[in-house]
Amino acid sequence: MLRLIRENLNLADVMLFIVIVIVVVLTSYKMVQKRENRRVYIIKENRYWADYPLSQDRTIVIDEHNTLRIDDGKVRMLKADCPDKRCVKQGASDLLPIICLPNHLVVEIRSTNQKRTLIIQ
């Protein structure tokens, strides 16, 4: 079996395999590194309210209207008193922002070295 594989492989196949392995290893390393440095940024009524590391589990009471929970590297809205509760129904996320329009609240998840991409007006 191994002799058959060796006979059918040429230098280009070996080089392609090595390049693929290197790309996979580097991509995995970058993804793990980005996930370790991510933070939850809370913007209330167009103003920065606070930020917390995504790696530390905690419950955050923003005001009488909203409560967040950071758990297992994801954030979710636990409680909101808005009529449709879309922010609560969204569930836990480690990538997408949570937006509560009636309460003028935005929760972003981003890397500490990433520039702000979400514009609030």
Domain membership flag for residue 120: no
CA distance 45 to 59: 20
pTM of this prediction?
0.65
Mean pLDDT over the full length of the chain: 84
Examine the pLDDT at 30 and tell me if it is beyond 90: no
CB 48 within 8 A of CB 41: yes
Q: Are residues 79 and 92 in the same domain?
A: yes
The answer to whether position 70 is within a domain reads: yes
Same domain as 59, residue 29? no
pLDDT for residue 14: 83
Report which of 119, 76, 74 is spatially closest to residue 100, judged by C-alpha positions: 76
Quick one: pLDDT at residue 1?
61
Amino acid code (one letter) for 112: T
Do the beta carbons of residue 77 and residue 91 sit within 8 Å?
no
Based on the fold, state whether residues 29 and 63 are members of the same structural domain. Answer: no
Residue 23 belongs to domain spanning: 2-34
Q: Are 18 and 11 in contact (CB under 8 A)?
A: no
Read off the amino acid at residue 63. D
Cβ atoms < 10 Å from Cβ of 7: 8
Q: How many domains does the chain have?
A: 2
